[in-house]
Chains A and B, each alone.
Chain A
Amino acid sequence: EERLVESGGGLVQPGGSLRLSCAASGFTLSVYSVNWFRQAPGKGLQWVSYISSNRDKSYYEDSVKGRFTMSRDHAKNSLYLQMNSLRPEDTAVYYCARERRGSYFDYWGQGALVTVSS
């Protein structure tokens, strides 16, 4: 069964850092582009970032540029979202999702809650 599982969420103070992990099982994550999304309390889904399968391209939503960085570990069949200089408005459930050719996302993780608060 193909699955994505996020981990690494938690409570962090404003200005702090957190690293989310997205681990794949049942398929080889390295051949796919992957995206991160988030849903803040009471808000809709929002795209956060993208990384290509061969790591040559990455894109970020404007509010996280310069603070968030995606990386991949093909050996661990995983990828990561390093989040620095966190702000209260970054509080959300974060999802990773596999992207398919045709610009859509067929497998999503169950989400990881990130709370930024003092």
Chain B
Amino acid sequence: QSVLTQTPSVSAAPGRKVTFSCSGTGSNIGRDSVSWYQHLPGTAPKLLIYENDQRPSEIPDRFSGSKSGTSATLAITGLQTGDEADYYCAVWDSSLTAYVFGSGTKVTV
């Protein structure tokens, strides 16, 4: 049972936009910055968004993040087949003294 709640899967046609959320509590998302990762099992996870809405220079601006209260959202516009992967949110939880991940959202294009 993950501490952070994510929609299990989303599906959309190429070129469309998808958004999915990451819901937490006041001891994690409500207190600290959220990061997002793209992951294909067996490969290294890739940082997509850090500090809620910041994007590493190599990540295209099709990816964007936001946070409000105890929820965070990742949006992908102009969906491409190469975006098919699992997406995870992560944040430090001050009550657990641990990093917590969402259960992951599988994106199908």
Contacts and interface: CB of A to CB of B under 8 A. Distances in A.
A68 interface: no
Contacts, number: 67
Interface stretch (A9-17, A18-26, A39-47, A77-85): A39-47
Interface in B80-102: 86, 88, 90-92, 97-102
A65 to B, nearest CB: 10
Which interface residue of B39, B91, B102 has the most chain A CB atoms within 10 A? B39
Contacts of A103: 32-33, 35, 91-92, 99
A59 interface: yes
Nearest to A113: B42
Contacts of A93: 41-42
Interface of chain A, main secondary structure: strand
Given A44-B88, A45-B101, A104-B35, A111 B44 contact: yes
Nearest to A108: B44
Q: Which 9 A-B pairs have the closest CB atoms?
A: A104-B35, A47-B99, A104-B50, A108-B44, A44-B104, A102-B51, A103-B92, A45-B101, A110-B44
27 contacts: A39-B39, A39-B41, A44-B86, A44-B101, A44-B102, A45-B37, A45-B101, A47-B100, A59-B98, A61-B98, A62-B98, A93-B41, A95-B44, A100-B50, A102-B51, A103-B32, A103-B91, A104-B33, A104-B35, A104-B47, A104-B51, A105-B35, A105-B90, A106-B50, A106-B56, A110-B43, A110-B44
Interface of A: 35, 37, 39, 44-47, 50, 59, 61-62, 93, 95, 97, 100, 102-106, 108-111
Interface of B: 2, 32-33, 35, 37, 39, 41-47, 50-51, 56, 86, 88, 90-92, 97-104
